[in-house]
Structure 1
Amino acid sequence: MYVTICQYKCTPPQTVWGRVSMAFGLEAVTATHEIATLPGGQTAFPPEAARREPADAPDEIVLLAREQLKKGSTSFFKAARLFPKSQKASAFLLYAWCRHCDDEIDGQILGAAPDMTRPPCQRSLEARERTLATLREKTVAALAGQADEPVFVGLQRVVASHQIPHRYPLDLIEGMAMDVRGRSYACLEDTLSYSYYVAGVVGVMMATIMGVRDRATLERASDLGIAFQLTNIVRDVVADAALGRFYLPQNWLDEVGILPCEIGERRHREKVFRISARLLDVADDYYRSALIGIGRLPFRSAWAIASARRIYRGIGQAARASGAAAWDRRARAGTITQASGIALGAVEAAVLVSLRGRSERKPRLGLWTPSHLWTS
């Protein structure tokens, strides 16, 4: 039964981004859709919503997913709007599922914890394992075409529409398991492995949505996701330490004489910054590798990904420029940075696509790749 009805209305943005997007000829979406809200904040949709293809956007599930991306990550939202219509809807739906899984594990809402007096590390392992098991069960049901909740219906539609191999969504769940079980990261390869499972695989799924099937390009898509996650690790290293999560390689910490539990202490900021700058150097290797993959995409898709790459890499560059003060406030990409990233992303995408034949010969040397990724 519908209890309350809330409306989502998408109008042309009156921001710097709006002017940039209109200058590049992007269409504005104007639509009003009714979404039922049940007691406790749960959302419900008409049954026919589960049967629609992502390309039928906007519908109720896609609009809700769009709002989640808009509120949860303005950088990715603005880049995602550059995709062709069919890919745009699928990107929204995939993000909504990823965001939901992350929030469930962390006890957050759109990446922000409502009650930091009880962080995830203080929940019992049993409770966290139950949450993980529920997410895995619902994901498996969605992959089997049996989803009954909006966010999992969205995943079901994306996987079916784009023939995404089932191992990829399950890899993301495995990444969540690493957080639940408090995996330690002894060396850089361990940190890169984690980065693949929570972000690199999202890059692979997004590339699949864009029609990519060849191994070489999927590897570059994984590289970009890994670069994004390494940037996240640096940006949030102090906040994560407060939650009992430590992603910097243990052997790097040993080299400078820091225990994981000491990462958040101000007396160690200079040392933590040196390690973080080193991790950003690794991220840059993966950002550079991703450029080759971007050049293999159709222009609109290449533009979206090139823009996201520029915007997100800028977060790491801002952290590097701030030195030991990088964690005095959370590094973000401001509106002007986002707008310039989109404008420069268009130029970069055009150049990369035009050089497609020559850039494909550049080898991908020395970069880590999960050994299981290309096995069935």
Structure 2
Amino acid sequence: MSEAPAFPSRDAIVATAQESIARGSKSFAAASKLFDRRTRERAWLLYAWCRACDDIADGQDHGHTMSVVDDAPERLARMTAMTEAALTGALIGDPAFDALRIVAAETGMPHAFARDLIAGFALDAGDWRPRSEADLYKYCYHVAGVVGCMMAVAMGVSPDDAETLDRACDLGMAFQLSNIARDIEEDDRVGRAYVPEEWFVEMDIPPGQHMKPPFRARLAVLARRLAERSAEFEASARVGTPKLPFRSAWAVLAAADIYGAIGRAVAERGEHAWDHRVTTSKLDKIRFIARAFVAAGRRQALYPPTPREIEWVRPGR
């Protein structure tokens, strides 16, 4: 009688997830080290699945070398099938999707969140582009805001705590808006554009011409607008940190500082924002982590409960 195949242990999948975040995002890897061990491992597991889906969708390797794919529907179908199987508790045999299986089971994460993220990849697979600012927020929710919700659940936030999930979603929205501002040139190279079409019309930038030298100054205005929107979502997200344990709040505030710096740098560089990819240095990360430590200790005073002023409603609310 043949023996059943041996599947990797939880520890092995966690180790693979740690390797994934180290390769895919130095910023998130640095912030994740501030969590307690259980939360840190769950953050790595969640990141590994998100990263794998993104790589499948865009033909990337841990977020690098994005390329045009000619089989987007097939890729979407594959990640959807593996995600749905993982949510049922099935052993997948792919470390990233088994990572989702583990973190979803351990935290009671709503399956709708995972499906909302897959819906974001479906938008890209359909060559969807935002027409309005509302469309932009829809996209940001599906590819990042919902990840904030999932990460909050991984930190121990109840799936029923809608207010805290809203704030967590806001942080994901802030990250994505900074990403969009930073990656305008990179996205253009593969035929994508996430700046709303109405914004291009407003600045009299012809379709598909936004990276051309004559329009760089106008594009810089829109990049600053993205950075400003990102800052608004980030400020809203900080109000949710008093609900978190100290170490989780520390990690969240550090990530907010690190990613906020990216948006600010894009805005400050103006039309030269895309000459070189905007990053934060190791020294900057250390400085932000130290600053976040102080802010986490004072979070009750720094971020008192205030009405959420952003005129945007998270899907499912």
TM-score for the superposition, normalised by structure 1: 0.80
Q: Tell me, which stretches of 5 or more residues in structure 2 are unaligned?
A: none
1:93 and 1:155 in contact (8 A); partners too? yes
CA distance in 1, matches of 2:7, 2:222: 51
Partner amino acid, structure 2, of 1:47 = F
Aligned mates of 1:278, 1:48 — CA distance in 2: 46
**What is the match of residue 191 of structure 1?**
136
By how many angstroms is 1:138 displaced? 0.5
Q: Looking at both structures, which has the greater relative contact order when contacts are Cα pairs under 8 Å and sequence separation is at least 6?
A: 2
**Aligned residue number for residue 111 of structure 2:** 166
In the other structure, the counterpart of 2:316 is: 373
1:46 and 1:167 map into 2 onto residues whose CA distance is 30
Aligned to 2:260: 313
Q: Name the structure 1 match of 2:280.
A: 333
RMSD, aligned CA:
1.4
Unaligned runs of 5+ in 1: 1-44, 53-58
Alpha-carbon distance, 1:295 to partner: 1.9
Counterparts of 1:300 and 1:183, CA distance in 2: 38
> Residue 240 of structure 2: SS of its match in structure 1?
helix
Out of 67, 70, 73, which is 2:19 matched to? 67
Could you tell me how far 1:317 is from its partner in structure 2?
Answer: 1.1
Aligned to 2:229, the other structure's residue is in SS state helix
Separation (CA, whole Å) in 2 of partners of 1:182 and 1:207:
30
Q: Which amino acid aligns with 2:301?
A: L
In the TM superposition, structure 1's runs of 4+ consecutive aligned residues that sit over 6 Å from their partners are: none
Secondary structure (helix, strand or coil) at the match of 2:84 reads helix
Q: Is the 8 A contact 1:79 1:304 kept in 2?
A: yes
Please tell me whether the aligned partners of residues 117 and 146 of structure 2 are also in contact (alpha carbons under 8 angstroms): yes
Q: Which has the larger radius of gyration?
A: 1
Report Cα offsets for 1:260-300 as digits up to 9, x if no partner. 41122122111110011011111111010001011211100
Taking structure 1 as reference, are residues 63 and 268 closer, same or farther at Cα in structure 2, changes over 3 Å only? same
For the 8 Å contact 2:178–2:230, the answer to whether it is kept is: yes
Amino acid at match of 2:176: Q
**2:147 corresponds to which residue?**
202
CA distance in 2, matches of 1:105, 1:166: 20
Query: 1:350 aligned to 2:297?
Result: yes
Deviations 1:94-128 (A, max 9, x none): 10110000011110101112xx7xx32xx33xx21
Counterpart residue identity of residue 336, structure 1 = L
The residue type paired with residue 173 of structure 1 is I
Counterparts of 1:75-90 in structure 2, within 5 Å, are 75-90=27-42
Partner of 1:262: 209
Cα shift readout 1:149-180 (whole Å, capped 9, x = no counterpart): 21111100000000000000111100001111
Quick one: percent identity of the two aligned structures? 39
Q: Which amino acid aligns with 2:155?
A: M
Cα displacement string for residues 156-205 of structure 1 (whole angstroms, at most 9, x for unaligned residues): 00000000000001111000011110112111110011001000000000
C-alpha change, 1:307 and 1:46, in structure 2 (3 Å) is farther
